Structure 1
Amino acid sequence: MMLPTHAVIGLAVAAPLVVFYPDLAPAALTGILVGSLGPDLDLYAGHRRTLHYPTGYALLALPLAAVAVVVPTTMTVGVTAAIVGAAIHCQLDRFGGGLELRPWEGTSDRAVYDHVRGRWRRPKRWVRYDGSPEDLMLLLSIGLPLLVVLEGPFRAVVAVALVVGVVYVGLRRRLATVAPVVFGHVPDRLEEYVPERYRTQ
C-alpha cells in the first residue's frame, strides 16, 4: 500500500480517542502517524526489512498498551500508538503486492521480512500493488470521513495524504518506467543506496 494509505489507516485507528479521551487524542494521533510512516524510512536501505518488524512490533505493542492503560500519560499513549502504528504498517504490507518495481506483474514472493521467523512473508495481494485503484479506494473510503472527524493539523495531514495519493495513483505505472532511467545513472558511490529493482528494466 502507498504511504498515504498507511497514514490514514493509522489515524483512523486512533481517531476514536478524539471522542472518548480528547486530552490524550493528540498524543495518540501524533504517535500513530509517526509509527505508520516510520517503517518506510528504509525505502533505500533494505526496504521492508531494515525497519519492518511485523512480529516484533506486535509483540512490543502488547505490554506498552498495558502500561498506557494503567498509566495514561501523553508519553505512554504516544509511544504505544507509535509502536501500534508501525505494527499495523508491517501487517498491511503483507496484504499488498510484492517487493518489485512493477508489482502488478506479481513476480515477487517478498512482501515483508519477518525477523522472528527469519524469512520473507509472501504478499497476499488483496490490494494488488501500491498505487492501484483499490489502494485509492481504500484511501478515499477512510480518508474522507477523517476530514470530518479530525481537526487542525491532523485534518491537514489527511487532506495532504488524499492529494498525494490521488496524484501518485495517476502516475504509478509511469514511475516504474522512469525509475530505471533516473536511478540507472547514479554515481558509483551512491549505487549501494539505490534498490536493485530501480536500476533494472
Structure 2
Amino acid sequence: MMATTHAFAGLTVVSPIAYLVPEFSAPLALGALVGGLAPDFDLPLTHRRTFHFPIVGLVGVVLAVGLAFSAPTAPTLAIAAFVVAAWLHAATDVFGGGPEMDPWRNRTERAVYDHVHGRWLRPKRWIRYDGAPEDAVLAFVLALPALVVFDGWVRIVVLGGLGVSIAYALLRRRLIRWTADWEWLE
C-alpha cells in the first residue's frame, strides 16, 4: 500500500479520540502521521523486515496505549498514536502485494517479515500493489474521518496527501518504465 494510505489509516484510528478530546488532536495527528510512515524508512535496508513488526509490534501497542491511558498527556498520546500507526502499517502490509517494484511482472511471496516465527508472511494481494486503483480508493476512504475531525494543518496535510495519492496511482505503472529508461545513468 502507498505510504499515504498507511498515514491515513493511522489518522483514522486516532480520529475518534481527537474528536472526544480535541485539545490533544495535534499530538495525536502528528504521532499517527509519522507512525504511519515510519516503517517504510527501511526502504534502503531490507524493506518490510528492518522496521516492520507485525507481531512483536503489538506488545509496543499495549504498552504505549496503557501508558497513554494511565497518564494522558500530549507526549504519551503522541507516542501511543505513533506506535499504533506503525504497528498497523506493518500488520496491514500483508494485505497488499510484495515489496517488489514491478509486481505485475516479478511477483514475490514475501509481504512482511514475522520476527517471532522467523519467516516471511505471504501477501494476500487484496491491494495488488502500492498505487493500484484499489489502493487509491482505500486512501480516499481512510482520509475521510481525518477530514471531518481535524482542521488546520492536519486537513492541509491530508488534502496534499490525497493529491499525491491520486497522482501516484495514475503514474505508478509508468514510473517503472520511466526509471528503466534511466539505467544508463548508473
Kept in 1, the 8 Å contact 2:114–2:121? The answer is yes
> Quick one: distance in 2 between partners of 1:149 and 1:69?
21
Alignment of 1:54-65 (within 5 A): 54-65=54-65
Kept in 1, the 8 Å contact 2:95–2:123? The answer is yes
Change in Cα spacing, 1:133 to 1:182, as seen in structure 2 (3 Å) is: same
Unaligned runs of at least 5 residues, structure 1: 187-201
1:16 is paired with a residue whose SS is helix
Corresponding residue of 2:180:
180
Unaligned runs of at least 5 residues, structure 2: none
1:54 is paired with a residue whose SS is coil
1:113 is paired with a residue whose SS is strand
1:23-58 deviation digits (Å, cap 9, x = unpaired): 222211111111100011111221111111111221
Kept in 2, the 8 Å contact 1:97–1:106? The answer is no
Matched, 1:167 2:179: no
Corresponding residue of 1:130:
130
Structure 1 residue 179 displacement after superposition: 2.9
Calculate the aligned-residue CA RMSD, in Å: 1.6
Change in Cα spacing, 1:184 to 1:125, as seen in structure 2 (3 Å) is: farther
Corresponding residue of 1:20:
20
Matched, 1:141 2:141: yes
Paired AA for residue 61 in structure 2? A
User: Which structure would you say has the larger RCO, counting Cα contacts within 8 Å and 6 or more residues apart?
Assistant: 2
Structure 1 residue 106 displacement after superposition: 6.7
Corresponding residue of 2:33:
33
Kept in 2, the 8 Å contact 1:10–1:33? The answer is yes
**TM-score normalised over the length of structure 2:** 0.93
1:150-193 deviation digits (Å, cap 9, x = unpaired): 1011101100110000000011001122233435743xxxxxxx
2:56 is paired with a residue whose SS is helix
Corresponding residue of 1:191:
none
> Quick one: distance in 2 between partners of 1:85 and 1:111?
18
Count the aligned residue pairs.
Answer: 186
Corresponding residue of 2:155:
155
> Quick one: distance in 1 between partners of 2:145 and 2:83?
24
Q: Which moved more, 1:89-98 or 1:100-109?
A: 100-109
Change in Cα spacing, 1:116 to 1:183, as seen in structure 2 (3 Å) is: farther
Paired AA for residue 56 in structure 1? V
Change in Cα spacing, 1:67 to 1:183, as seen in structure 2 (3 Å) is: farther
Q: Which moved more, 1:64-73 or 1:173-182?
A: 173-182
Structure 1 residue 104 displacement after superposition: 3.1
Corresponding residue of 1:3:
3
Structure 1 residue 135 displacement after superposition: 0.5
> Quick one: distance in 2 between partners of 1:170 and 1:120?
30
> Quick one: distance in 1 between partners of 2:125 and 2:177?
22
Q: Which moved more, 1:60-69 or 1:138-147?
A: 138-147
